[in-house]
Each structure stands twice: as structure tokens, then as C-alpha cells.
Amino acid sequence: MHEKHNSTYAHYDILDGDAKVYKRHDSKYWHFRMWLPKENKYYKKSLRTKDKETALSEGRNLALTLMTEEKLGKKRFGITYEKLVELYLEHREQDIDKQTGITKGRHKTIRSQLKYSVNILGAKTRMGALDNEALYDYSLLRKKSHLAEYHTTRNESITINAMMQWGYDKGHVHFPKFVFKKIKIKNDDIGKRDTFTDEEYTSLCRFMRTWVLEKNCMTYKKFMCKKTGRWTKGTTLSFDKELQLERQMVRDYILISANTGLRVGEIRQLLFSDIEKVEEHMIDDEIKLLAKIKVRWETSKVRKNREFLARGGEYFIRLKDRQLNTEPHHLVFSMDGKRTLTSVRWSKHWKELMQGIGINDWKKEYLKDENGEYLLDEDENGICEGRNITFYSLRHYCISSRVKSSVPIIDIAKQMGTSFHHIESTYLHYEEEQSRTAALKSYKKIDGIINSSDGLSRKKHQSEYGVHEVRLSSQYVH
């Protein structure tokens, strides 16, 4: 039922009474009012004019706009953008720990990705006031505010539109997705990953051998303060057995990560029951230990179970022999079997290791000028120094090593729990070593059969170090 307004001294019906233009006793300006049945509310607005004919004209145009919007499902009194984000996060929270759902870590990522769009559009902005091009320059805005990389904004735009599609299906919004300006990413930028070189990884392995020694696991001895009755740090150093055990666990964590390529979330949720077996293989008169690992769907980013064999079985054996809590339900990388280390502890150990092997630029930082503003290059990209070397870099190193070892991409993708396309676009960098190897590839035709070779021949060579075999260029190199 339409309300009555006895306070108006002038009003005119427009569009057969569906809307009104009126003037109140206490105002010099004309106003507009229209009943919106689907929202069960009156839409009211000051027309900001004292002229009756102008008011009638603007009133008709506004009424037609509202009627069109109503047919399209657009709501003038719809929820705010912030409320839409809140409802979507609640919806996605219900999918946590479901096989077709998401992990807790993924939910945290979604929350983080959506917060930037809230800042850009405004928390209190009504969805009815937005159109599908409201975030057209999203990548540019994100770059100006936080120097976000293009691949970052691309992932965020996908998450935003997943929310919009959900909101559209639920009737919260009147269009299914935003239109984002297309971004062209240079081929040179595709698949760039901050990871270790072979030399750096070798240095890391060597440094960790001394890092876990008793003489390097010293802490200041604590004593009870007589005045306060509290434990306080003294000046005398003493061996800390718990610190040594923790460092030894971190060392095996790093070695296993680099050999299995497990994601950070997967490896930190690994249970002893997930290590199904360790098997021996004799390769070139040397015993190799392979571990059969089961990744449960609830810990996997892609929500799929997978099993695979990986090198580094000896590290699992050493870890189980040393750790105190090794029941099937206990976490592999935990000091009590129940909880993994805090992020502060993981970061502390990582910082010590990076500084220990001389990688002082392992953190990526963007440069600022004297006014505190970010420095940009000629392409308006943020100028940064340092590298982004993290625990996740161990996965990158593992995949890159498998690629260099000529392991079929499809096998790498299955082991790593990712797609063939992702491996191909991210890790197939044509480095100088690979280029040299490819250039030296050759073949010989024997009895109508082509035999491939590395293009190098071998012969005995006498030197001051004795007789040894060297490889010489082949006549079949083309």
C-alpha cells in the first residue's frame, strides 16, 4: 500500500501514477518518489530544481530508468559490496574440508584477494550502484596502491568474478561478472620463479650439516630471579637439545621438500601414516631409497588424492628414528606430533639458513624515493631488489630439476599434483645448459636404425692425475 503524504502542497502523478513529483511545504525544490514492489520500499530523491517542467521531465526519465533496472533485476536498495564479500566468505567456509571444496589455506587466500576490491569500490557501496565495468582498471589501481604483479591481479580478478557469479545466482547482484581490462603478459615474464641455483642448493645442504651440530645449538642458560620469581636469560651459553632436534627436523623438511616437490601446506600436514613404505633400488652399484607418499585430498590444494614414489626415503627413516612422536596419526614435521611449528619459528630458521649460505637478498623489497613513493621503471613497474626465496622455492627447485633430468612432463605433473600446462608454461625455461645439451645431441644410423647419442665420444686420457676417460666432440655433430 502506498503511503499518504498530507504535508505536500503540490504533487503530480507521472507514468499513470507509478511515480510522483512533489514539493513539500518546507522545501523550495521538487522531489521524486516511486514505489519499488520487488524491494518493498519507496525510492526518494531530490531533483534539485525549482522549475516544475524540469522536475516533471527529470522525474519521467528517472522513473523509466528505475522500471528498466527492475526488469533487469537491479536493486537500488541491494546489499553493499562489503556485505556481498562477507556472505560469499561464509558460503565458501562451508566448503572447507570437503573433497569438492577448499582448504583452510585457500579460504584465507580468498579473503585476502577480495579485501583489495573492497578498498577500491568502497565498503558501503551498494551493488545496485555498480555496473560491470566498475573494476575495469583493477590491475592499474592495484599496481598503484601495492605494486601488485600482473599475475597477482589476474588471480584476484578470477576470485572476484567467482564471487559475482555466486551473488548473481543468489539474486544479490544484477550482473554475473565484472569486465576487467585485458592484460598482456610478456613471454619473458611467464613462469619466472625465484628458486635456488644448483650451487646454492649444494651450499645449503653443506651448511645444514654444521647448522645442526651440538656446538652450534647453544642458547643462553635460564635462571630463576630471586626478586621476581620468574625465569630470565642469563649470560652463560649451554647446549639446547630441543633446539638441535628442531633444527634437525627443519633440515630433513628441506631435503624432503626438494626431493618430493610437496607444497608447503601438503608437507606440513603430512602424517606418518601417509608414508606408506620405503623401498630400496640398486642403481649403478648404489642403493637408492624411494618413499611412497600419499597426499590426502583434504590437505591438497586441488582437493584430489594422489600417491607417488619420490627420492629421499633415507630422510624419512632418519626422521622417524629421531623424533619422539611417530605414531601413524602424528604429524611428521612437528615437535609434539600434534602441531607444526609456528610461522615465526619457520621464518627464524629460514632467515638463519639464507644468511648462513650468503643469500642476503632472499627477501624481495620494492624501492621508494625520499618522499616514500614507490620507484617505477619505464614500463611503470615497481623497481625492486632482492629475490623471493621461500620454503616454496624448494618445490620450484624440485620441479626444475626433474625437467632438466628429462623426466616426462606428464609424470612430473602427476607427482606434483598440477597440470601439464602449468609445468610447461612455468618451468620450461630454455637455459644455457639445456641449450648446450640440445646442441650436442646427435645420432648414428646403424643397419637402418637411428641411434641417438649425446654427440660426444669417449677415449682414455693420460694426465698427471692418472688415466681417466674424457669426452671429445663427435664427428656426427651437425
Q: Which residues pair with 286 in a beta bridge?
A: 283
Band (253; pLDDT cuts 50, 70, 90): very high
Phi-psi region of 60 (alpha: psi -120 to 50; beta: other; left: phi over 0): alpha
Report whether 447 contacts 457 (CB < 8 A): no
pLDDT at 469 over 50: no
Band (199; pLDDT cuts 50, 70, 90): very high
pLDDT at 2 over 70: no
Predicted pLDDT at 277: 93
Q: Which one, of 345, 357, 333, 363, lies nearest residue 254 by Cα?
A: 333
Q: What are the DSSP E strand ranges found in 47-145?
A: none
Report whether 11 contacts 24 (CB < 8 A): no
Angle between helices 409-416 and 420-427 (to 10 degrees): 110
Predicted pLDDT at 388: 85
pLDDT at 466 over 50: no
User: What is the average pLDDT value for the chain, to the nearest integer?
Assistant: 82
Going by their DSSP bridges, the two strands 218-224 and 231-239 should be labelled as antiparallel
Mean pLDDT of 224-244: 79
pLDDT tens for residues 291-325?
Answer: 999 999 988 888 889 999 999 999 999 999 999 99
Predicted pLDDT at 300: 87
DSSP letter assigned to residue 102: B
Fold classification of 81-185 is: DNA polymerase; domain 1 (1.10.150)
Higher pLDDT, 406 or 465: 406
Predicted pLDDT at 3: 47
Predicted pLDDT at 463: 42
Report whether 174 contacts 66 (CB < 8 A): no
pLDDT tens for residues 134-184?
Answer: 899 898 888 777 777 777 888 899 999 999 999 988 888 888 999 998 766
H or E element that contains 440 = helix 432-440
Phi-psi region of 448 (alpha: psi -120 to 50; beta: other; left: phi over 0): left
Q: Find the angle CA(192)-CA(193)-CA(197) to the nearest 5 degrees.
A: 115
- For domain 198-358, give its CATH number from 3.40.50, 1.10.443, 1.10.10, 3.80.10: 1.10.443
Mean pLDDT of 358-381: 73
pLDDT tens for residues 24-36?
Answer: 877 888 989 888 8
Q: Which one, of 237, 300, 245, 240, lies nearest residue 268 by Cα?
A: 300
Burial (0-12, 13-18, 19+ Cβ within 10 Å), 227: exposed
- Alpha-helical runs (H) found in 176-300: 198-211, 241-260, 264-268
Q: Which one, of 26, 2, 358, lies nearest residue 10 by Cα?
A: 26
H or E element that contains 446 = strand 442-446
pTM of the predicted structure, to 2 decimals: 0.65
| Cα dihedral across residues 296, 151, 363, 104: positive or negative | negative
Predicted pLDDT at 290: 94
